[in-house]
Structure 1
Amino acid sequence: MKRQNKDKIERILGLYSKLMNGYIINKAEVSVNYGVNERSIQRDIEDIRNFLDSESVETGVMNTVIYDRAEKGYRLKQIYNRKLSNSEILAICKILLDSRAFTKNEMMEMLSKLIDGCVPRVNIKAVKDLIKNEEFHYVELQHRSVFIDKMWDLGKAIRGKHYVEISYQRLKDKAVVKRKVKPVALMFSEFYFYLAAFIENEEVKADFDILNDSYPTIYRVDRVKKYKVLEERFHIPYANRFEEGELRKRIQFMYGGKLQKVRFTYSGCSVEAVLDRLPTAVIESEKDGVYTISAEVFGKGIEMWLRSQGEMVKVIEMR
């Protein structure tokens, strides 16, 4: 290797090392140190920029070298981290597998795309090995329905405030009923995706326990057998606008119904688990390890959950 080329490589590696360690490169100073003119240093910086651009394809991290006027020199700047880290993508894959929300074919395809598209190539095999056993033993849900495209269409209807006609198979008697609804939210809870929607037909609403239109009905997406997004739009006045985030905090059991306020005592070993289960829960008091808790929850699901806690929970009031 010619001495000139060797000097250039050593110089570029030296500049790269300084940049990666947070140093500011003053073009005039380093040109003197390396015994070259400033144009050579400028070309070296351009070579480093090109290298960082090509490296981003492998690592997902987009770095570049910028001129900092305040520091009067060049420094490294991370523009964005385009891909998920190994640990992030592993966590997401584990959550997806544990959700069991999709058919096995859908799940395997999504995991493969996530890993291939987000993990640096050198680490793809390591991530795949970490979830290989769970993939092999993955058990899909009994409904075996494919509904990703359906969810996308419903999501667009929610965003555009379009009415949707659905044919829905009820759980209690397996009958398929038709509804015209105002879709307002898509949510996931314990294996299933749900659509929250307001029923448009007043005659249909008369069959429900709760007549107040401010309470949405909850539909399992996999039980929506047919649907049609209508051109007709609905309007929710700003004062009564639907707050999906607020509903999500109060619908933890995916049962429709009125907003209930519940107070109970909890004597179990993990009050944190109760607070995590009921995002609106507030600890009113605590004495000798017994907590008095209040919360707001939509629907009747809270009653079943409270009963499932056995002797650890005693209901004070529910209204």
Structure 2
Amino acid sequence: MTADTLKTTRVLELYQDFLSGKLINKQQAAEQYHVNVRSIQRDIDSIRDFLSEQCAKEGIVRKIEYDKKENGYRLVTQEIEQLSKGEVLALCKILLESRAFTKEQVEKQLQIILNLCVSQKEKSDIEWFISNELFHYHDPAHATVDSDNLWMVAQAIRNQSVLEIEYQKLKDRQIVKRMVEPVGLMFSEYYFYLMAVITDHSTREAFHKKNDPYPTIYRLDRMHSIKETGEKFSVPYKDRFKEGEYKNRTQFMFGGEPQKISFNYYGPSVEAVLDKFPMAKVVDEKEGVCSIEAEVFGTGVKMWLLSQGSKVKVTAPEILVQEMKQEIERMNGQY
């Protein structure tokens, strides 16, 4: 037999032993097959790679794990819970509603989800439910985010790598270059956002609030280029940016400072308000009017409050009350 044939036979026999429930000791296996221990380790790694690929196809997790007590490797099998037809349909609907991607991208993503998660019969049923929405789907007006850039940013956050970005500002469309420390990645209302700290102090001082301690918000679709610089930064775990906490307090991804607000809600569905403000609570309710307190971050909350028309009345803080009055006067002047 050739060396390649011997290796293939050895790997298959080891795989069969694992399936039979046998414990594999590397040293004993090396002696049995007249190879060194490193060769047996590579064989085990090859079997692990194969099992990982099979997991997605079969829905069963099989892993080669080391048993320290028995000083050997054994196959551990675990069935994974599958998504139900209703859950897959819900994911498809959410993807369509996000409007984060082009129609071509959405069609590809939907097919991948359906092929991996449901049978052909169930796939046909779900396709029937989403076909009309997909047919009338229009590409978003904003540029779509390159998935490779999205992953690069995610890895830079995890590895604490400084990025150089070229970014088109919203107001004057000017393209600026920034060196940033990426700390968070978020999605909200059609867009992906990078939360990052500008490294250049002189640039930060030019902002509306000098030396703002909070990360700057960048829309990924307005980035013309993203490069890794090779530089690293360090943030202690206790001081890390908490995306979930930030999202619970932020509306429409507008920056600003944290604040506590109070308002009366006169509308029919207070549940919708509490869904919009996860950190909110109803402190009083009289004659169908709910008094609500909420912790928020940034100025986006004003946009939401104004969108509710006469269904809300801001009661605190006073500065927000005055800003609401001034904005309503400006709106009235346009009619």
TM tier, smaller: 0.7 to 0.9
2:289, 2:140 → 1: CA distance? 38
Aligned 8 A contact 2:164 2:228 in 1 = yes
Matched with 2:106 is 107
Q: Percent identity?
A: 47
Matched with 2:91 is 92
SS in 1 for 2:156: helix
Residue 274 of structure 1 deviates from its aligned partner by 0.8
Residue 206 of structure 1 deviates from its aligned partner by 1.6
The aligned runs of 1:7-46 (5 Å cut-off) are none
2:101, 2:126 → 1: CA distance? 21
1:148, 1:187 → 2: CA distance? 14
The aligned runs of 1:1-319 (5 Å cut-off) are 60=59, 79-81=78-80, 83-318=82-317
Gap change, CA 1:94 and 1:61, over 3 Å in 2: farther
Residue 146 of structure 1 deviates from its aligned partner by 4.1
Gap change, CA 1:212 and 1:206, over 3 Å in 2: closer
Q: Which amino acid aligns with 1:292?
A: S
Q: Which runs of 4+ in 1 moved over 4 A?
A: 56-62
1:285, 1:292 → 2: CA distance? 5
Aligned 8 A contact 1:187 1:194 in 2 = yes
Q: Which amino acid aligns with 1:205?
A: R
1:250, 1:198 → 2: CA distance? 19
Gap change, CA 1:256 and 1:196, over 3 Å in 2: same
1:79, 1:120 → 2: CA distance? 21
Give unmatched runs, 5+ long, in structure 1: 1-55, 63-77
Q: Which amino acid aligns with 2:195?
A: A
Aligned 8 A contact 1:250 1:297 in 2 = yes
Aligned 8 A contact 1:100 1:141 in 2 = yes
Aligned CA RMSD, in angstroms, stands at 2.3
Aligned 8 A contact 1:210 1:258 in 2 = no
Residue 59 of structure 1 deviates from its aligned partner by 7.8
Aligned 8 A contact 1:59 1:120 in 2 = no
2:98, 2:292 → 1: CA distance? 29
SS in 2 for 1:226: strand
Deviations 1:167-216 (A, max 9, x none): 11111111111111111111111111111111221111122222344311
2:242, 2:305 → 1: CA distance? 26
Q: TM-score, normalised by structure 2?
A: 0.69
Q: Which amino acid aligns with 1:126?
A: D
Gap change, CA 1:203 and 1:115, over 3 Å in 2: same
Matched with 1:22 is none
SS in 2 for 1:302: helix
Rg larger for: 1
SS in 1 for 2:284: strand
Q: Which amino acid aligns with 1:179?
A: R
Matched with 2:67 is none
Q: Which amino acid aligns with 1:308?
A: S
Deviations 1:129-164 (A, max 9, x none): 221111111111112434211111000001111111
Gap change, CA 1:225 and 1:269, over 3 Å in 2: same
Give unmatched runs, 5+ long, in structure 2: 1-54, 62-76, 320-335
SS in 2 for 1:263: strand
Q: Which amino acid aligns with 1:271?
A: V
